[in-house]
Homo-oligomer: A and B are copies of this chain.
Amino acid sequence: MRIALDAMGGDRGPELLIQGALSALRENSNFDIVLLGPEDYLRKHLAEQAIDPVFSDRLSIEHAPEIISMHETPVEAVRRKKNSTIMVGFDLVRNGRADAVVSAGNSGATMASAVRKLGRLKGISRPGIASLFPTLKNPVMIMDIGANVDCRPQHLVQFAIMASSCISKVLKISSPRVGLLSIGEEAGKGNALVKETHELLSASNLNFIGNVEGRDVYQGDVDVIVCDGFVGNVSLKVSEGLADAAMQMLKTEIRKSIRARLGYLLIRNAFASFRKRVDYEEYGGAPLLGINGVGIICHGKSNAPAIKNAILVAENMVRNKVNESIVETLKVNPTVNMDQG
């Protein structure tokens, strides 16, 4: 198995991405890694790090001279920059020279590039982005978190099928509980999209447990939460923003008294464990689901452990044939084939 890593993606530069790659190689001997980027530039970076030959043998470079920056318009950038890291990466997958692409770069461009190079899975109208969120119990997979901002009910049912197949394979959950994000638990609550989706999901063979509310996201009593990409993205970013702001407010309060500062010294480790538990970086990137291949996008701010985890998720998805499972589940849920728009 070969996993291609966009070595130029993200806000923090290639060193950190290479460190993540090395950690992944160290942890799992199942695959090799192809670094995507300008060859000379990457070769210099690799030379600066004293890499054990055991690992350097499993590490190669695929020359990709162009970089799509975070602020470029995805569709345009993908059209113009044919030699960009992301495009070259999905080309490798198309040609059978790699099995997956991991990128912390422009996520819209990564999605556009994946669809362009690999196409969609048979029966899928709209590929989307799934993400694992930490909860009080097991993580929950939310889909879509930003690829599809205007959705029809059939799209949400397809998200449910894709995320359900993915989490079932990746986290070994048989019959994952699927919830529909709404503003009340009763079937009649929600907007027009949610009400129609509720009917379709009830008729599917998924383990649909009904509507869930925003406050259920972090409780861990549901394995998959389905929503349109606008609502999913807002929920993700509201959560990130609240976590940051709460931490800042708490620190301000602590700084006000010597007693509290002393207390903080004693409590620091518990804080660190807590932060680790809620840190999206521990959850290893967000799979693009619905494309005919495996692609994982990471937060632009990802650190080395986050990149390592994303690579391991990619390996897991390839090994467990998540896409085959999605196609199988689609076949037994004919309602979703009504719409290929």
Q: Spell out A's residues near B (CB within 8 Å).
A: 135-136, 146, 149-150, 181-183, 190-192, 194, 213-219, 227-231, 233-246, 248-250, 253-254, 256-257, 259-260, 262-271, 273-274, 277-278
Q: How far is the CB of A198 from chain B (nearest CB, A)?
A: 13
Take A191-B150, A214-B233 as given contacts and tell me if A277 and B264 are in contact as well, using a CB distance cutoff of 8 Å.
no
Q: How far is the CB of A181 from chain B (nearest CB, A)?
A: 6
Query: Is A274 touching B257 in the complex (CB atoms < 8 A)?
Result: no
Query: Is B270 touching A267 in the complex (CB atoms < 8 A)?
Result: no
This chain: copies in complex: 2
14 additional A-B residue pairs with CB within 8 Å, beyond A215-B238, A217-B242, A235-B235? A135-B245, A150-B192, A181-B234, A183-B230, A190-B230, A214-B233, A218-B241, A218-B242, A246-B246, A250-B270, A253-B270, A254-B270, A263-B267, A263-B270
Q: Please pick, from B183, B241, B266, B271, the residue contacting A214 in the complex, using a CB distance under 8 A.
A: B241
Name 27 A/B residue pairs within 8 A (Cβ), A-sorted.
A135-B245, A182-B230, A183-B229, A183-B233, A191-B230, A214-B235, A214-B236, A214-B238, A215-B237, A217-B242, A218-B244, A218-B246, A235-B235, A238-B239, A239-B239, A243-B246, A249-B274, A253-B270, A253-B271, A253-B273, A254-B270, A257-B270, A259-B269, A260-B267, A263-B264, A263-B266, A263-B267
Please name the residue on chain B nearest to A234 by beta carbon.
B214
Please name the residue on chain B nearest to A186 by beta carbon.
B71
Bound state CA distance, A234 and B277, in angstroms?
A: 23
Bound state CA distance, A68 and B270, in angstroms?
A: 45
- The prevalent SS among residues of A at the interface is helix
Q: Which residues of chain B come closer than 8 Å to A233, judged between CB atoms?
A: 183, 214
Query: Is A241 touching B265 in the complex (CB atoms < 8 A)?
Result: no
Q: How far is the CB of A116 from chain B (nearest CB, A)?
A: 20
Take A183-B230, A230-B191, A245-B218 as given contacts and tell me if A260 and B250 are in contact as well, using a CB distance cutoff of 8 Å.
no
Query: Is B245 touching A271 in the complex (CB atoms < 8 A)?
Result: no
